[in-house]
């Protein structure tokens, strides 16, 4: 089969990890080619995610790279032979490949940490809020409906049988933005409080008085599973998203998230009695903004 033109993020992630392991083992592309009976060009395609590796070939590579039996070995074997099909495929008529990559990454993660300085993140958006955001860049009503349905479908990871752990830090500016009007914003702020009742969801607000650190760090998400080596950072941008797979970058963003969490207000706790709010916290700030609308 010819090389893929647009490999999925899962395929690119597998290729990048194979390249990392090969480099760590101090093996050349020619060494890998000899193991697989392939030329250097095919090896390059494998490491770019454009070509699959047969199961027995991958087994040989991982053994040659010194990747012993364990979680990483099993995860790479699963990634290589996962067809990548899921509920997101039904939305490929309107959703770009990067959107489907995001949905697949959310679906396969066990832990997501997200910082959002301008909007309520997609996993916590109401239908009306999502519609107001999407309509700003999409004029076709039918496509807007499809995009909204896609965004809401992504949220099922929060209530699945084995739900993802989701920690989110939202800047206070996102609470004040008049997206969709006062009624839509009131319902959206209430949704933040309701979501925080889920045992796997933590919501914090980064207040204006905490300074400029939040704006410097921009919007990002850290997606992790059972294998730390396969964590991914996503930087959301207006026209596209950037996927970072390097361990150094992931560690830096993890430290950045923890610093944001330290500076942010205490997490939303809807079950806490009113008298416990003797100091400003995320819940009291959300309620304050909501009642002013």
Over residues 254-271, the pLDDT tens digits come to 999 999 999 999 999 887
Q: What pLDDT was estimated at residue 158?
A: 98
Percent of the chain with pLDDT over 70: 96
User: In this structure, what CATH number is given to the domain that contains residue 67?
Assistant: 1.10.260.40
Q: How distant is the alpha carbon of residue 7 from its chain centre? A: 18
Query: Cα 170 vs. chain centroid, distance in angstroms?
Result: 15
Give the CA count within 13 Å in the CB-facing half-sphere of 161: 0
Q: Is residue 2 part of a domain?
A: no
Measured between alpha carbons, how far is 266 from 203 in angstroms, rounded to an integer? 9
- State the pLDDT at residue 277: 56
CA distance 225 to 53: 22
Q: What is the pLDDT of residue 278?
A: 59
Which of 120, 235, 230, 262 lies closest to 179 in space, CA to CA? 120
The answer to whether position 221 is within a domain reads yes
What are the backbone angles phi and psi of residue 222, rounded to the nearest 5°? -115, 120
CA-to-CA dists, residue 46 to 33, 34, 174, angstroms: 10, 14, 42
pTM value? 0.91
Q: What is the pLDDT of residue 79?
A: 86
Same domain, 73 and 122: no
Within-domain flag for 1: no
Please, how many CA atoms are within 13 Å of residue 136, restricted to the half-sphere of its CB?
8
Give me 291's structure tokens. Answer: 């009642």
Pairing of strands 111-116, 165-171: parallel
Residue 94 pLDDT exceeds 60: yes
Assigned domain for 128 exists:
yes
**C-beta neighbour count of 66 within 10 angstroms:** 10
Do 94 and 146 contact (CB within 8 A), yes or no?
yes
* pLDDT attached to residue 238: 64
Q: Which residues contact 192 (CB under 8 A, 6 or more apart)?
A: 120, 124, 170, 203, 268, 286
The domain in which residue 63 lies consists of 9-81
Q: Output the pLDDT for position 136.
A: 85
> Which carries the bigger pLDDT value, residue 11 or residue 205?
205
pLDDT exceeds 80 at position 66: yes
**Residue 4 in domain:** no
> How much is the pLDDT for 234?
94
**106 or 275, greater pLDDT:** 106
3-state secondary structure at position 190? helix
Percent of residues in the chain assigned helix, strand, coil, to nearest 5? 55, 10, 35
Same domain, 59 and 143: no
Q: What is the pLDDT of residue 213?
A: 80
pLDDT band (50, 70, 90) for residue 246: confident
For residue 47, tell me if it sits in a domain: yes
In the structure, what pLDDT confidence band is assigned to residue 130 with cuts at 50, 70 and 90?
Answer: very high
Answer whether residue 18 shows pLDDT above 70. Answer: yes
Q: What is the mean pLDDT of the chain?
A: 90
For helices 97-108 and 141-154, give the axis angle rounded to 10 degrees: 20
Q: Considering only CA atoms, which of 35, 119, 114, 49 is closest in space to residue 82?
A: 49
As for how many domains the chain has, the answer is 2
Of all residues in the chain, the percent with pLDDT exceeding 90 is 65
C-beta separation of 232 from 13 below 8 A? yes
Look at residue 105 and tell me whether its pLDDT is greater than 90.
yes
Domain of residue 257, CATH code: 3.30.870
- Statement: residue 185 has pLDDT above 80: yes
Please determine, for residue 276, whether its predicted confidence score (pLDDT) is greater than 70: no
15 and 126 share a domain? no
């Amino acid at each position: 089969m010819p090389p893929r033109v647009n490999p999925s993020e899962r395929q690119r992630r597998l290729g990048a990890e194979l390249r990392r392991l090969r480099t760590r083992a101090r093996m050349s592309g020619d060494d890998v080619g000899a193991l697989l009976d392939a030329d250097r060009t095919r090896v390059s395609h494998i490491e770019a995610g454009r070509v699959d590796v047969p199961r027995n070939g991958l087994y040989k590579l991982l053994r040659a790279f010194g990747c012993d039996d364990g979680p990483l070995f099993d995860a790479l074997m699963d990634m290589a032979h996962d067809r990548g099909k899921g509920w997101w495929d039904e939305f490929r008529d309107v959703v770009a490949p990067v959107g489907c990559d995001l949905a697949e990454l959310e679906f396969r993660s066990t832990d997501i940490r997200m910082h959002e300085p301008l909007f309520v993140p997609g996993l916590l958006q109401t239908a009306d809020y999502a519609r107001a955001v999407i309509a700003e860049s999409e004029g076709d009503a039918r496509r807007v409906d499809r995009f909204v349905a896609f965004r809401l479908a992504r949220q099922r990871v929060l209530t699945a049988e084995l739900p993802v752990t989701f920690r989110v830090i939202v800047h206070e500016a996102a609470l004040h933005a008049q997206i969709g009007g006062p009624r839509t914003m009131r319902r959206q702020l209430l949704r933040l409080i309701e979501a925080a009742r889920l045992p796997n969801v933590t919501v914090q607000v980064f207040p204006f008085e905490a300074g400029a650190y939040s704006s410097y760090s921009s919007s990002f998400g850290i997606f992790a599973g059972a294998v730390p080596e396969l964590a991914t950072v996503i930087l959301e941008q207006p026209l596209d998203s950037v996927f970072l797979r390097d361990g150094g970058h992931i560690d830096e963003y993890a430290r950045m998230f923890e610093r944001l969490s330290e500076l942010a207000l205490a997490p939303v706790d809807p079950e806490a009695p009113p008298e416990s709010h003797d100091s400003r916290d995320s819940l009291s700030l959300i309620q304050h903004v909501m009642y002013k609308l």
